[in-house]
Amino acid sequence: MTQNKENGFTLMEVMIAMAILAIALVAVFQSQSQSISMSTDSRFMTTASLLAQSKMVEVEAASTLDNHSDDGDFGPDYPQYIWHLEVGDTQLPQFKKIDVTVTNKFFISRGTYNLVLYKTAGM
């Protein structure tokens, strides 16, 4: 009895294995990309909130809260971040609204963090 079958994989088996591998790799790379994106967003939110809070403390420490608007950056430590400050009146005359917006210049979307504080004008 002679055996005509050779040991090994057929071309069809190899192609099916490659297709399964390709599908699995696409899923892994997509997951990795999403993880990096979420990490970048998280880093921005943490940094921007701390910078906005530090700017808010500077404004709160001022002796008077006059209505004004101002812009600036955070110096060489955070060159990609800029801030915008607005101090204005509210509907209640005893309160002032302090609005600090921190923006990352390099983010196209979701690169803005806003912090608002209402403070009594007499303090």
Number of domains composing the chain: 1
Encoding tokens for residue 11? Answer: 């071309």
Q: In what order do the strands lie in the sheet with 81-89?
A: 68-73, 81-89, 95-104, 112-120
* Residue 2 within a domain: no
Q: What is the pLDDT of residues 9-63, one digit of tens each?
A: 889 999 999 999 999 999 999 999 889 889 988 999 999 999 999 999 998 887 6
Q: Which residues, in sequence order, are CB contacts of 7 under 8 Å at separation 6+?
A: none
CATH of the domain at 75: 3.30.1300.30
Q: Which residue has the tokens 């803005």?
A: 112
pTM value surpassing 0.85: no
Query: Can you say how many angstroms the Cα of residue 68 is from the centroid of all Cα atoms in its chain?
Result: 28
